Amino acid sequence: MSSFSWSCPCCLRFKFSPEEMEQRYKSQQIDKMIEKDKQALKRQVKLLLLGAGESGKSTFLKQMRIIHGIKFETQQIKEYQQVIYQNVLKGMQVLVDARDKLGIPWEDNNNKDLGANLLQLRFNNSVILDSRQFVQYAPTLSKLWRDSGIRRAYDRRREFQLVIKFFQIDNIRFHTHFYFLNNLERIAQPAYLPNHKDILHCRKATKGITEFVIPINNIPFLFVDVGGQRSQRQKWFQCFDSVTSILFLVSSSEFDQVLLEDRKTNRLEEARDIFDTIVNNVIFNNVSIILFLNKHDLLKNKVKDPETDIRWYFPQFKGNSHSMEDVQKFVLYLFTSVKRDQKKALYHHFTTAVDTENIKVVFYSVKDTILHRNLENLMLQ
């Protein structure tokens, strides 16, 4: 004897009360929504930005907004303005302090008092500087920046971490301060608002996790940026679920610098050790990893500098220390050599995160890699 499952709407009303019918309908709608969400998640591209502190992750994320025409909100622009004011003032404080500790004389002795007064000011992230306040400091900043003693201190910035312990500021940010101090007249205008280039150069350490979705080719790209300082890395594991690709950023110019956290660990070696733990993690066996050897412009300047030699920090380097090609090959090898699975693809690009055109070209290539290698089956099924 065969059994029948009565499921047509006309029969269901004999089996269920109106209340049960309504509940059943709501349940079906919820199931449809859940399935729709699952399909949307499949289509979503999740890009995890990893790397040590100051490698350029947040700058890259800013570039993604600029390249894809997503405007910064008015409140964000005001926040960047305040960060820029702090960048400039803290940067000059460090230069004044470094000039003293390095024993560099003032060109103009009248600047001695100006420098001393500036050092008395205390700025932390909770202090909000508006344009009216910053304009008051601008004449002092301008005079100090014109002093050859300050300029000589800037030229010896690689020594800062050895002589400065009072200010919690990283010497690799000084290309940023150089940019802003050279634009001081414009920044000190009462009506000043940061442009895109200013926003790309301003620096504030990322704490916690920042997520931002950008629709690209009708596909939502979720960018996840996490702080790279040692104290922030325990948060990384929270972001490891459903990752499509990892963009690992390295400050390739840091071969002659040490960590702010302990003032002894070489920055490039620290970045390589972090990369080792990521590229060889079984969690990421099926995740494409793209290596961005960032700050290519700063690396180029260091390679040309006759007073800088990568062999002082990496004796195993055997090439011409003033050949950009040789240094690039060596820096790349430092990272590719830690990959244990030689079959696993590893893509790399030399980048300058503050250069919009460079990042635009690189990201178009990266986007194709991600879509073709990671999403082809999902998109076509």
Spot the catalytic one: 100, 198, 225, 254.
225
**Hey, what long-range contacts does 270-276 have (CB within 8 A, 24 or more apart)?**
270/52, 271/51, 271/52, 271/55, 271/335, 272/334, 272/335, 272/338, 274/50, 274/51, 274/52, 274/233, 275/248, 275/250, 275/335, 275/338, 276/338
In the annotated binding site for GTP, the residues are 54-59, 200-206, 225-229, 294-297, 353
Task: With H, G, I as helix, E, B as strand and everything else as coil, classify residue 258.
Answer: strand
- Please say if 376 is a catalytic residue: no
Spot the catalytic one: 140, 229, 232, 336.
229
Rg (CA), the chain: 26
Q: Does residue 182 contact residue 171 with C-beta atoms inside 8 Å? A: no
In the annotated binding site, the residues are 54-59, 200-206, 225-229, 294-297, 353
- Please say if 308 is a catalytic residue: no
In the annotated binding site for Mg(2+), the residues are 58, 206
- Please say if 230 is a catalytic residue: no
Can you tell me which residue has the tokens 């490698």?
A: 55
Give me the helix-helix angle, 131-146 and 148-155, nearest 10°. Answer: 90
Give me the helix-helix angle, 267-279 and 324-336, nearest 10°. Answer: 40
What b/e string do you get for 54-64 counting C-beta neighbours within 10 Å, with b at 16 or more? Answer: bbbbbbbbbbb
CA 371 – CA 303 distance, rounded (Å): 36
Task: With H, G, I as helix, E, B as strand and everything else as coil, classify residue 314.
Answer: coil
CA 98 – CA 157 distance, rounded (Å): 8
- Please say if 13 is a catalytic residue: no
Could you give the residue ranges of the DSSP H alpha helices within the chain? 9-15, 18-43, 57-67, 74-101, 111-120, 131-146, 148-155, 160-163, 174-182, 184-187, 196-201, 267-279, 296-304, 324-336, 356-374, 376-380
- Please say if 225 is a catalytic residue: yes
Q: Are strands 346-350 and 288-294 parallel, antiparallel or unpaired?
A: parallel
Which run of H or of E encompasses 129? Answer: none
Annotated catalytic sites, by residue?
54, 59, 203, 225, 229
